[in-house]
């Protein structure tokens, strides 16, 4: 009984303090190939009323593939100070019905954490129309943390951050060194 309480406290405190959680839903298809598992996705969340709440699957929001109401998910939480894996736990996925008291309470918390929303105060109405709000409720089971790195190549995307450096940049940098 004591270990269960310690595990519950670890899950709650680690998840509350972490800005991101990594979630792998049981409903996501497994990629073909030996040793391949369903993708784990980083999701922003809030801890509310004993569960991690997430919003997504709408325009401009995070994707929630494989997370279906009534399904299960594995949630991995990182340490806020060091960034390493701290705990993995199994969750029951519950989809909240828009305008229900549970949905209103979760959205109230999520709204405060959503950064750079294009529609500000109209965000809850858009979430009710176009998105899903999910509760990831801990089942009490913690999973064994895997050995080694789980790093993977990012999924293909048209986004890019690399561009050629401007032609004048090397001259500018060398001039500054020469002045010192």
3-state secondary structure of 58: coil
The single residue listed with the structure tokens 């009323």 is 49
The single residue listed with the structure tokens 């999924």 is 155
* Number of alpha carbons in the 13 Å side-chain half-sphere of residue 9: 6
Q: Which domains does the chain have, with CATH numbers?
A: 2-179 (2.30.110.10)
- The answer to whether the CB of 71 falls within 8 A of the CB of 49 is no
| pLDDT tens digit sequence for 150-172 | 677 777 777 777 778 888 888 88
| pLDDT tens digit sequence for 70-115 | 899 999 998 878 778 889 999 999 999 999 999 999 999 999 888 8
- The answer to whether the CB of 62 falls within 8 A of the CB of 19 is no
Q: How far is CA 91 from the centre of its chain?
A: 14
What's the pTM? 0.75
Can you tell me the distance from the alpha carbon of 131 to that of 124, in angstroms, rounded to the nearest whole number? 10
């Amino acid at each position: 009984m004591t270990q269960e309480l310690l595990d519950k406290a670890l899950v709650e405190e680690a998840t509350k303090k972490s800005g991101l959680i990594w979630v792998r839903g049981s409903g996501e298809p497994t990629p073909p190939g030996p040793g391949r598992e369903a993708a784990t996705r980083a999701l922003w969340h809030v801890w509310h009323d004993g569960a991690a709440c997430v919003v997504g699957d709408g325009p401009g929001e995070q994707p929630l593939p494989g997370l279906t109401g009534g399904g299960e998910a594995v949630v991995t939480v990182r340490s806020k100070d060091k960034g390493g894996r701290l705990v993995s736990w199994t969750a029951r996925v519950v989809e909240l019905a828009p305008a229900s008291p549970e949905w209103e309470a979760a959205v109230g918390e999520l709204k405060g954490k959503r950064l750079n929303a294009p529609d500000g105060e109209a965000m809850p109405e858009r979430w009710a129309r176009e998105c899903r709000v999910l509760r990831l409720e801990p089942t009490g089971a913690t999973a064994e943390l895997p050995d080694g790195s789980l790093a993977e190549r990012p999924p293909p995307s048209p986004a890019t951050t690399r561009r050629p450096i401007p032609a004048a940049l090397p001259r500018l940098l060398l001039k500054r060194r020469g002045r010192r």
